A and B are shown apart, each in its own frame.
Chain A
Amino acid sequence: MATQQTRSLARFMMAPSVVLLFVWMIVPLAFTLWFSFQQYNPLNPIRDGFVGFSNYALFYSNPAFLQSILNTLILVASVLLITVIGGILLALLIDQPMWGQGIVRILVISPFFVMPPVAALVWKNMIMHPQYGVFADIARFFGGQPIDWFGQYPMLAIIIIVAWQWLPFATLILLTSLQSLDGEQKEAAEMDGAGFVSRFIYLTLPHMSRAITVVILIQTIFLLSVYAEILVTTNGGPGYASTNLPFLVYQKALLEFKIGQASAGGIIAVILANIVAFFAMRAVGKNLDR
């Protein structure tokens, strides 16, 4: 059906998107790669020049680097764990027959629409503030000491905030998947005397497996680059206790103007993301062949 004419037309129509994305991806990335081999400091231009891999070495020897990689991975893993398990449980719960299901859905999905700076500020001041926060009120009510969340447990605090933002996403997608499960299959399993647990393990979970994969992959993409939540709450501290890789790169680039090191960090972030992307693409790609 596709004639030569329509084919070239198709190419012509695709061109703007492809060219724009290509330029947007390749130009800055090339710059970053180039900078990562340079000594470049806008404030002190005398010592600029090619330095080989020493930026990578410097970035690597920076004690903050390993900490930031570790924090990045801890953040991603913890939030994934909480949101996937919590999401499955919540989806199962909301899928039950009940009154006001629509409103429950709306309440549960809401945090996803809250912009990251607001989510972070609300948690920081309204909920976790050691003096005026709700947690402090609760602690005092039970006669306990309020916890200084961002001073004592900065990573945990950030994990809680980010998990709160992403739990709705996981729940919504898993619920959608759950509701597409064939009712007759469920009934048949029930008739055969399968209990709730075995129905869940042998029927529901396999049905949801693709949705779970998708949730994990998409969240990982976003969780690898959590930024605003850290900026607003702990600013990476105390020390580097809650600095993740994106935040460290931002600090190096725009606060310390160590462009070479920041670029090296950026390239490392790209490599990290690519490892994840490799798996993500395969999973989503399978869906295309359907």
Chain B
Amino acid sequence: MARAVSTQHKTIATAAAWIVALLIFFPILYTIITSFKSEQEAIQGFNLFPSGTTESYTAVEAQSGYFKFFLNSVFLSVGSTILALLVAIPAAWSMAFSPGKWTKDILMWMLSTKMMPAVAVLFPIYLIFRDTGLLDSRIGLMIMLMLINLPIVVWMLYTYFREIPGEILEAARMDGASLWNEIVYVLTPMAVPGIASTMLLNIILAWNEAFWTIRLTTTEAAPLTAFISSFSSPQGLFWAKLSAASTLAIAPILIMGWFSQKQLVRGLTFGAVK
């Protein structure tokens, strides 16, 4: 097989793939480049070589307190993911290891909640949040993000747990392991990789969620999605600063994303494509 590939074929494929890949990546690349330009440079036409100034970065922090939004994003995405895992792990565990008549229906139903358009419940949620004082609160938004991603978390965990051989659990049970011991010493070590993947993907999803995070926050709880959206107003628009803010907003998750490609496929297709 290895023989069959000619160098010429490989060269052409390499060239074509790299050109396409760079074109697709270009908007991100150009944003990163522009973030190292001064505002003057940024509007002087196409230029791939910035002067390397970091003034935009300091300006973004000084003018808008970027760091606060960043912390909110971290808190919301990590917090909502942990919360979702706490609720989902027992559910997925019981579905995978003692499935009942209804397990499949429950899973399908959970998936169906994901298909409900957010706008359909925008106003009721808005009212509930307003009347309970949860509007613009980190806790409220964290719960919201947890609920949105819960079906995916349950599903992902379920597909991972299902691959753990049930015999091992049974053997442990035969040997007199209590349920607690079964979970802590037998299941957890085997399930950790799956839980970690689930966590990674859901942090990414929560980080990028851009409907509720924009609509349910104003200042205090606003994460980066809301912060960036506020840049769309014309008076606040400066190319280099916009680029710096954008770069900061996507950098952490971009890097996490690169490490989670495989899990991404699995998680987002609900285990249908591996």
Contacts and interface: CB of A to CB of B under 8 A. Distances in A.
A119 B154 CA distance: 29
Interface stretch (B11-19, B134-142, B186-194): B11-19
A107 B124 contact: no
A185 interface: no
A215 to B, nearest CB: 8
Given A14-B90, A97-B10, A104 B17 contact: yes
A173 interface: yes
Interface string B189-215: 000000000000000100110110011
B114 to A, nearest CB: 7
B168 interface: no
B21 A108 contact: yes
B269 A173 contact: yes
A14 to B, nearest CB: 5
Given A28-B121, A96-B13, A176-B274, A227 B211 contact: yes
Given A117-B228, A288-B107, A93 B20 contact: yes
A225 B211 CA distance: 9
A38 to B, nearest CB: 11
Nearest to A123: B27
A108 B258 CA distance: 10
A97 B232 CA distance: 42
A268 B232 CA distance: 29
Interface residues of A, number: 110
Chief secondary structure at chain A's binding surface: helix
Given A96-B17, A111-B24, A284 B119 contact: no
B16 A10 contact: no
Interface stretch (A48-56, A74-82, A197-205, A272-280): A272-280
Contacts of A121: 228, 231-232, 242, 246
A231 B232 CA distance: 9
B78 interface: no
A167 B269 contact: no
Interface in B133-154: 147, 150-151, 154
A99 interface: yes
Given A114-B28, A218-B269, A232 B13 contact: no
B31 A228 contact: no
Interface residues on B, range: 35 or more
Interface stretch (A58-66, A126-134, A151-159): A126-134
A106 B45 CA distance: 28
B80 interface: no
A228 B265 contact: no
A168 B104 CA distance: 30
16 contacts: A11-B94, A32-B123, A32-B124, A93-B17, A96-B13, A97-B5, A114-B254, A115-B225, A121-B246, A210-B273, A225-B211, A227-B210, A232-B229, A253-B123, A269-B119, A270-B120
Interface of A: 1-2, 6-7, 9-11, 13-14, 16-18, 20-21, 24-25, 27-29, 31-32, 35, 90, 93-94, 96-101, 103-127, 132, 134, 137-138, 141, 164, 167-169, 172-173, 176-177, 180, 183, 187, 210-211, 214, 218, 221, 224-225, 227-228, 231-233, 245-246, 249-250, 253-254, 259, 262-263, 265-267, 269-270, 272-274, 276-277, 280-281, 283-285, 287-288
Interface of B: 1, 5, 9-10, 13-14, 16-18, 20-22, 24-25, 27-28, 30-31, 34, 42-43, 45-46, 87-88, 90-91, 93-95, 97-98, 100, 104, 106-108, 110-128, 147, 150-151, 154, 170, 179, 204, 207-208, 210-211, 214-215, 224-225, 228-229, 231-232, 237, 239, 242-243, 246, 249-250, 253-254, 256-258, 261-262, 264-265, 268-274
